[in-house]
Structure 1
């Protein structure tokens, strides 16, 4: 059992033992080398899961994997390009090879477009954003569902969407469109695979302090200040706050939740 597999809560008059959120689960995470994905990998491992980290950058994956192992968790990594169908399928298969099954998956990996109006975006960039941010999750879900069916039998998937998918997105129109399509795929998958005991949900983060938003700020100075001004909590999210929402949705504590796009946005769409 991993270090995070059990916890003891001590009150003034009693003692209660609780099970970690993802105890004994096998978890697959895309975009796990940094940002929300890396935060999720660390959290899922602390919560008892055996994790397989996937992304394109092996040096980042290795660093996060070693950090998890040093903390007593179980982790490995595999290079994965979400725009390459064979790479995606091989990455999911690797989780089964390593750990014997797949229980849960967090489809977090994404790419961002250069900020600006849609008529200034090149066709090549549009195709790239859709290949990674829409086709990538579609490929991953197909492989994950097959792996869950063949091994654990039941399980859960969370897709990382965006609060920008829930409204007009003049700064990131292709990104917002791809993420809105992911919401639709999420709902369709939830309806299709729910009878088999496979739940599918999404999280929709607001402005989160990752390299992606740093790059957006560099290209559009002042955008972070504008986003924070629209957020009742008055700040951007830390990546671990998004990971916490994903972990809950993947856990058995969310056993009657499926087809949901959960806003984790500090109230910006309240």
Structure 2
């Protein structure tokens, strides 16, 4: 009698960097990579939540390290990539998930400070991360990058979130442009655009998770939010060898809301 061998973890021996990994989707993505054998560096502005993510990964038998960094500061992003390489010997996969949400005002009343924050973190932060990540990857045999955008922006618009939608539309466009610029360097770049998902960003002001579930039964064709694990699964696919010919795609995960 023969026994089938268990498949090797998809990311065994590889190192993945996940920004915005102190909570929500970023934490779920980091946990998913660790569960599939990757060494994971979790990054964010506040050390305490990052340490919690590292502890969760450790308790599950994975390997992770935390590096505090603000993606809107070029030197901190360069230090983040350098620190990742020093800790684990390389950088094979990067997930640029760090972002902020500012909403609730129409364009005519959009505070300039909110607009600037959205651009600094959601757009410039992704650009700076791409520059540092690509610089290492193209000099070291290539890699895969997944940017986290949103279904709000290039795919869908709703009132009151023009600044956020504009910033995420920029991420979607930047992803496609960067993908064309750097596929010849051996760096595959794609995006995932979640809709309402298992994250605090999808809660309206004062709304509970139970309230959100009721609202989504009406607002989403699927009738619910996407789970964090469903979004993470899409990210891991795009980062994996199974997606070797997927270049410059923007994969929407929103239960049909932007269909």
TM range, smaller chain: over 0.9
Alignment match of 2:206 (pick from 205, 208, 218):
218
SS in structure 2 of the partner of residue 199 of structure 1: strand
For the pair 1:157 / 2:145, whether they are aligned, the reply is yes
CA-based RMSD of the aligned residues comes to 2.1
1:175 aligned partner: 164
Q: Return the offset for 1:223.
A: 7.3
- Residues 215-267 of structure 1: CA distance to partner in whole angstroms, max 9, x if unpaired? x3438xx7775554232221011212111110110011111101000011112
Between the aligned partners of 1:132 and 1:250, the Cα distance in structure 2 is: 23
Alignment gaps of 5+ in structure 1: 1-11
Between the aligned partners of 2:71 and 2:169, the Cα distance in structure 1 is: 18
Alignment match of 1:191 (pick from 180, 200, 206):
180
Runs of 4+ in 1 over 6 A off after TM superposition: none
Between the aligned partners of 2:105 and 2:255, the Cα distance in structure 1 is: 24
2:100 aligned partner: 111
Which deviates the most, 226-235 or 135-144?
A: 226-235
TM-score, normalised relative to structure 2 = 0.93
1:4 aligned partner: none
SS in structure 2 of the partner of residue 201 of structure 1: strand
Alignment match of 2:63 (pick from 74, 93, 96):
74
Q: Return the offset for 1:124.
A: 1.2
Between the aligned partners of 2:245 and 2:130, the Cα distance in structure 1 is: 20
Q: Return the offset for 1:17.
A: 3.1
Q: Return the offset for 1:92.
A: 1.4
TM-score, normalised relative to structure 1 = 0.89
Between the aligned partners of 1:204 and 1:116, the Cα distance in structure 2 is: 23
2:88 aligned partner: 99
Q: Return the offset for 1:115.
A: 1.9
Alignment gaps of 5+ in structure 2: none
- Residues 117-144 of structure 1: CA distance to partner in whole angstroms, max 9, x if unpaired? 1222111110011100000000000000
